[in-house]
Structure 1
Amino acid sequence: MAKLHEQITSGRVVYTTRAGAQVCGDSRKVLAELPETSVDLIMTSPPFPLLRQKEYGNKDQAEYVDWLVEFVEAAKPALKETGSLVIDIGGAYQKGRPVRSLHQFRALIRFVDDLGYNLAEEFYWHNPARLPSPIEWVNKRKWRAKDSVNTVWWLSKGDRPKSDVGKVRTPYSESMQKLLKDPSGYYRPKKRASEHDIGTAFGIDNGGALPSNLLSIPNTESNGFYLRMCKELGFESHPARFPAALPEFFIKMLTDPGDVVVDIFSGSNTTGYAAETHGRNWLSIELDEKYAARSALRFLEGRTATDVAAIYEQMLAVNSQVDVEPTVLF
């Protein structure tokens, strides 16, 4: 399979791995260069419309939906008919008011009504480790509860996207484990009015329970290699990182090994790293050059700080030249 990054001219390839490439550029332009129906999954988390402006480029709430729709529209031609777009969008309060913004819901309606996507299913990412916020309405006045859930829209191009929830089973509950050890002794269901006997179905161990659409995943990475190395080398880490378990869930459920996964707001490139780990091909796109370059640290685990610094400096030197092949990490 020809690698997608080899066809890109509107962005600069910062580094490559065996399975993918990190590109620095505007996702709208890069997506336009990808072959039609070449991507199996776009998994991303755009900058949220927060009240405080962040260095990584969050948009004001008033313009956020129109801005985001441009990227989602540009993504559609590249998706296969069986492909999916999964987009994590956090909530926010309106400026100076203890009432919620509706940006993520307005965006969803635009995606479906204006762009022709299907809402395959809505997911909710619960981060039990999130700190209470906003300070004014939660901590200080005690008017609102802690906001610890993001909406995650699973959109599909066609009615029947590739999907298998059997690949993302969750551990059985304690009671279910007991039932599996002794089905007849633990549970004796009565025959239903339809005379359907469900007793034997409960004794089958399928390797775990089917997941729900509430994903409880703590975002507690504080001592991972990426953050440790950023700190040791004096780099500013990306301030808005989602945990690897979030993209991993959708990568495993919606793609197969060898499929193509794209992230159009890659940040520290958690999605690309998860895709590489699970044998998928990947392309990540990030507008900010320093974040795009520093995301290479995710793929250098096991190296010493001296080695990482040398590779990073070499990557910057190569990227400053014209018509030179990008840095190959491995």
Structure 2
Amino acid sequence: MRTQKIAKPEKLTVTASTIFEGDALTVLRRLPDCSVQTIITSPPYWGLRDYSIPDQLGLEGTLPQYVNALRSIFSEARRVLKDDGIFWLNIGDGYTSGNRGWRAPDKKNPARAMSVRPDTPDGLKPKDLIGIPWRLAFAMQEDGWYLRADIIWNKPNAMPESVKDRPTRSHEYLFMFTKDEKYFYDRTAVMEGNGSGKRNRRTVWSIHTQAFPGAHFATFPPALVEPCILAATKPGDFILDPFFGSGTAGLVAQQLGRKYVGIELNPDYVALAAERLEADEKSIIRVAA
């Protein structure tokens, strides 16, 4: 029998701001240990969007498959994060599909239409709120992460909904995780108020959503990213977003004198982020699966 030794892929080196085009888990496995000071990301939400890209996250057949996929990705992210670093995770919730394999467009939100949707998770009923953010947060606690804060992102300009039997959802969660019980956190950089009236930052952040031309779906508002970077990094530090999208985390990092590492599977979004960040071809690296 003929055998062949398969060499382990070499680690990727990162010395300047870089966009990696490829699968998040594949790229993360090749990044050096303890190489970024903070992680700020918003992964695709489960069963809410079809980005029409092979191997996309968010259309797993079951909720446990989705949570486990994110646990695997964030386990590698934990290795890449410095020991005194912070991981900021923005994640939204959703409702069960009632086992409908599709979702009709909403007159007020046409982009919600989908031709495929996961079945209702075991143990839940039609119209149940799933509780995805907390299910994921508890799973990450089990993996060793310290859950330090649950921040409510209040959206004053939230997208209208056509529902008449419950309140319109106008918030998402931003979780603050750390690797250790001691970590770098600059509280003075993100205090609220002015002058002698300043106080420690609270856990409800009222920030308007903000569209970016060219991005088909909602993007990170820079005002949500900025306090995360200011509190968790110093000038010159690296920030990582493993679901880079249109590159908002990188843009804010640039503006604040930090460096970025972005990972994005969709080549259209890589091109969009590169243009937005004025990144040259040398700073874009395509990583095969």
**TM-score grouping bracket, smaller chain normalisation:** 0.7 to 0.9
2:73 aligns to what?
71
CA RMSD in angstroms comes to 2.5
**Are 1:41 and 1:261, in contact at CA under 8 Å, matched by a contact in 2?**
yes
**Are 1:238 and 1:267, in contact at CA under 8 Å, matched by a contact in 2?**
no
Cα separation, partners in 2 of 1:117 and 1:290, compared to 1, 3 Å: same
Cα separation, partners in 2 of 1:75 and 1:86, compared to 1, 3 Å: same
Q: Distance in 2 between matches of 1:326 and 1:220?
A: 26
2:29 aligns to what?
32
**Are 1:90 and 1:104, in contact at CA under 8 Å, matched by a contact in 2?**
yes
Q: Distance in 1 between matches of 2:210 and 2:48?
A: 23
Q: Which has the larger radius of gyration?
A: 1
Mapping 1:258-273, distance limit 5 Å: 258-273=236-251
Return the letter of the residue paired with 1:38: S
The correspondence for 1:150, drawn from 172, 186, 189, is 172
TM-score if structure 2 supplies the norm length?
0.77
Cα separation, partners in 2 of 1:51 and 1:276, compared to 1, 3 Å: closer
Cα separation, partners in 2 of 1:158 and 1:327, compared to 1, 3 Å: closer
Return the letter of the residue paired with 1:271: A
2:274 aligns to what?
296
2:139 aligns to what?
110
Q: Distance in 2 between matches of 1:299 and 1:242?
A: 15
Identity %: 30
Cα separation, partners in 2 of 1:126 and 1:19, compared to 1, 3 Å: farther
1:169 aligns to what?
191
Q: Distance in 1 between matches of 2:264 and 2:39?
A: 14
TM superposition shift of 1:31? 1.4
Q: Distance in 2 between matches of 1:89 and 1:24?
A: 22
The correspondence for 2:129, drawn from 100, 122, 126, is 100
2:12 aligns to what?
8
1:214 aligns to what?
204
Gaps of at least 5 residues in structure 1 are: 1-5, 173-204, 231-236, 301-310, 319-324
TM-score if structure 1 supplies the norm length?
0.68
Return the letter of the residue paired with 2:33: E
**Are 1:129 and 1:220, in contact at CA under 8 Å, matched by a contact in 2?**
no
CA deviations over 1:34-91 (Å, ceiling 9, x no partner): 2211211010000011345343643245232111111111111111110111110001
Gaps of at least 5 residues in structure 2 are: 1-9, 99-125
TM superposition shift of 1:151? 1.1
